[in-house]
Amino acid sequence: MTGETGREPAGTSPPGGVRPVIGLAVGRGTGPELADVFERVLNALAARRPDGTDGTDGTGVEVVRSPRLYHSYVSLRRGHDVAAVQRLTAEDADHYEAWCRDLAERGTTAVFRTAINAQSLYLVRQRLRAVKVDLLADGGRSLLLVRDQAQGFYTGENAHTAGEVTRTLTFSREITGAVVEHALERARRAWPDGRIGRIVMAYKFHLLDGAFDAWVADLSERLGVRIEVFQPDTVNRNLLAHGLPDRTLLIAGNEWADIMHVVLLDRYGSDRQENRCTENVCLDPALRGLVEYQTVHGSADDLAGRDLVNPVATVRAAALVAEHHAGCPGAVAAVEAALAVLDERGVRTPDLGGRHSTSDVADALVDALGVTGPDTVPRDPVLVGGT
């Protein structure tokens, strides 16, 4: 059964043994190193699935890389003036948008993207109406964060005059409605019994002449749910004083959610930003169903070419793509078990207090998965043990 766009729903394998196609977009900085890790782990999971099957039934995975190496902010600023930065930013955004649209049209449901320049990225997110989704759970409590990346300051456009930059941004009733409806859909998926503890929206709505909270009131009535709209500082105060109830659906403006994501991870996820991956869902009807996975950390240009960037978030993204888009049930659990083995053995990159390289961690992880194949060389157990 296909979705409204005629594509298979996310989380299913293509019919008839058709190989799923996964997009891979690479940015500068440590992007090429992490792209290699992603492709290696994804292929390993597809070649020897965690459920015991070996992937020889024709349902392996095909990874398609974007032909463009996208800029990071550091690479843009290196040797380029403002006019050149503007031009290259627009070129990257136009190319990435067109590439995503082409993938979606051909039936691709997932893209992994390493970090790229934020200005290019948010131009694309505005055009594709993207939301970031992250389910945080710790100690029996859960919180679903849905970050509105389709409107607001981050998605604005710049006009330059002498000594001044004017940024113009937009909010709309239509996009707000699409974001809220998708958030409710994801909450029902996260909590199938239908119980949502609270629905909170954190936006700087006082700046919008009463229009935004009027839209939300109409949505609340139409959808038959109670939606509370708060200023971000009020949400912060409540979070510090009382915490948020279990099963809070938190729909947030991009600016506040960007800053607070690491705090929410600390409160609800017990995880480091460097180890975390998230998904971005495109709400543009032409791309409905395309999910972009990314690491939470940035491009880490200072580590480029040194084989020292932490690959854990990339490995987790590969597991999510394998399980939800490449027909590899159990991939996430298998990777988490392998990461636990590595943690126990002290196999980690320097940012986590270890002394292993990116390649060392990837090698040890593939070994811990029990995967063997033509591209997998068995490693010295001393190295895997981190001693």
How would residue 48 be classed by pLDDT, with cut points 50, 70 and 90? low
Helices vs. strands in the chain: H and E counts, helices first: 12, 12
For residue 378, the model assigns a pLDDT of 34
For residue 12, the model assigns a pLDDT of 45
Q: What is the DSSP string of 100-144?
A: HHHHHHTT--EEEE----HHHHHHHHHHHTEEEEEEEEETTEEEE
How would residue 140 be classed by pLDDT, with cut points 50, 70 and 90? confident
For residue 66, the model assigns a pLDDT of 97
pLDDT at 371 over 50: no
How would residue 385 be classed by pLDDT, with cut points 50, 70 and 90? very low
Q: Are 252 and 145 in contact (CB under 8 A)?
A: yes
pLDDT at 321 over 50: yes
How would residue 49 be classed by pLDDT, with cut points 50, 70 and 90? low
212-265 tens-digit pLDDT: 999 999 999 999 999 999 999 999 998 888 888 899 999 999 999 999 998 888
Q: Which long-range contacts (CB under 8 A, 24 or more apart) does 173-176 make?
A: 173/211, 173/215, 175/129, 175/148, 175/150, 175/151, 175/283, 176/148, 176/151, 176/212, 176/215, 176/216, 176/219
pLDDT at 16 over 90: no
Cα–Cα distance for residue pair 109/98, rounded to 1 Å:
15
pLDDT at 1 over 60: no
Find the mean pLDDT for residues 67-71.
Answer: 97
How would residue 326 be classed by pLDDT, with cut points 50, 70 and 90? very high
Cα–Cα distance for residue pair 70/76, rounded to 1 Å:
10
How would residue 171 be classed by pLDDT, with cut points 50, 70 and 90? very high
For residue 296, the model assigns a pLDDT of 84
Which residue reads 């389910």 in tokens? 135
For residue 297, the model assigns a pLDDT of 81
Residue count (the chain): 387
Closest CA to 362 of 43, 47, 40, 42: 40
Find the mean pLDDT for residues 369-387.
Answer: 37
Find the mean pLDDT for residues 357-379.
Answer: 72
pLDDT at 113 over 80: yes
The residue with greater pLDDT, 352 or 30, is 30
> For the ranges 166-175, 252-261, 368-377, which has the lowest average pLDDT?
368-377
Closest CA to 132 of 251, 27, 38, 34: 251
Region for residue 370 given its phi and psi (left: phi exceeds 0; alpha: psi -120 to 50; beta: otherwise): left
